[in-house]
Amino acid sequence: MATEALDLPEKNTWQVVKFNQAADGVLLASFTDRDSDEVFEGVTYTSEPSMEVALAENDGMLSSDTPTKITLPAAPIAASVAFQTFLDRISSGQPYQTVEVNIAEITKGDGGTVSALKTFRGECAFLDVNSKDDKDILVFEVLTDKQKLQPIKLGMPAEQQCVNALGDVRCKLDLSPFTYNVTISDIDSKVVTVSGIPDGLVDRLFMAGFLEFETLRIRIHNWRNEVEGDKTKLFMQERPPSHWDGEVVVLKAGCDKSKETCEGTFNNLDEFNGWGYAMPDYHPVYEDGGGRQVGSV
């Protein structure tokens, strides 16, 4: 608990968040939801009044899957070059240096003093670029050391699904042949109608892919080339902003992580990274949860 004298406005409580490189402790960015910048314990926190912090419930269990979430504008004020590089890499599935996140709650006390309650420390695990009321935002998911622990299992699971992100350094696939510029002609809730999709594409090519425009990227839930009348319709996970209607946007293919898609759609089986998919029916180390019974002959 730290106490320090500050000249505070009427607001009695606010949040402060720091992003540091875990390896060397270098400060990448620091923000506060206060209406003005604040210096506390030698760190300048940039004002982002729209910042939201949603702490995961602390139930003391190792199996909690709920991450702590931090919401910031898509273009944070005064973001350093190093922080922007981190944002670009984590959002595109590329490797990045581990980034530690520290959250504290600052509360005004009597006599102009404040107390700093450190409420969270963890590692940034995921970044989602999404929309909220037609406003671009970043949603960081942060995990504690306990949440990063994996359950202890007997044997190593044989996972049929590839762990690569499509086009990342492990996948190595050139996505340019699977990227298209299309024009949105209609937005009906989560169903988007577009023009400009070439004929003859593989069915479900855009499942788990993305529509991108300006700084916003929205995931595609499904696309069925084989269904008559639906070739121009993309079924989205989120409703795109209304101002996208009539715009030329970027359409990117997706991958369902299966060996069949890797081979048949992308001809990239050499880089398939699903554990144990080519192992024999019996293996003393691996097990696959029932798909092949360990010990069978």
Amino acid code (one letter) for 20: N
pLDDT of 56 over the 50 cut = yes
Given pLDDT bands bounded at 50, 70 and 90, which one contains residue 51? very high
Average pLDDT in the 134-144 region?
Answer: 83
Give residue for tokens 């479900």: 204
**Structural contact between residues 235 and 227, judged by C-beta atoms closer than 8 angstroms:** no
Q: Quote the CA–CA distance of 82 and 177 in Å, as a whole number.
A: 30
Average pLDDT in the 151-168 region?
Answer: 71
Given this model, what pLDDT does residue 41 score? Answer: 82
User: Both ends of the chain: CA-CA distance in Å?
Assistant: 62
The closest alpha carbon to 11, from 42, 35, 45, belongs to: 35
pLDDT of 1 over the 70 cut = no
| Token pair belonging to 65 | 């899957």
**Structural contact between residues 68 and 122, judged by C-beta atoms closer than 8 angstroms:** yes
Given this model, what pLDDT does residue 187 score? Answer: 94
Given this model, what pLDDT does residue 197 score? Answer: 92
Given pLDDT bands bounded at 50, 70 and 90, which one contains residue 184? very high
Amino acid code (one letter) for 292: R
Rg (CA), the chain: 23
pLDDT of 39 over the 80 cut = yes
pLDDT of 293 over the 80 cut = no
Most confident of 62-76, 128-142, 178-192, 274-288: 178-192
Most confident of 113-117, 178-182, 213-217, 260-264: 178-182
pLDDT of 5 over the 60 cut = no
Q: What is the DSSP letter of 214?
A: T
Q: What percent of the chain has pLDDT over 70?
A: 76
Given this model, what pLDDT does residue 28 score? Answer: 92
Domains and CATH numbers, the chain: 2-148 (no CATH), 176-252 (2.40.30)
Given this model, what pLDDT does residue 282 score? Answer: 54
| Token pair belonging to 207 | 């499942």
CB-count burial class (<10 Å; 0-12, 13-18, 19+) for 128:
middle
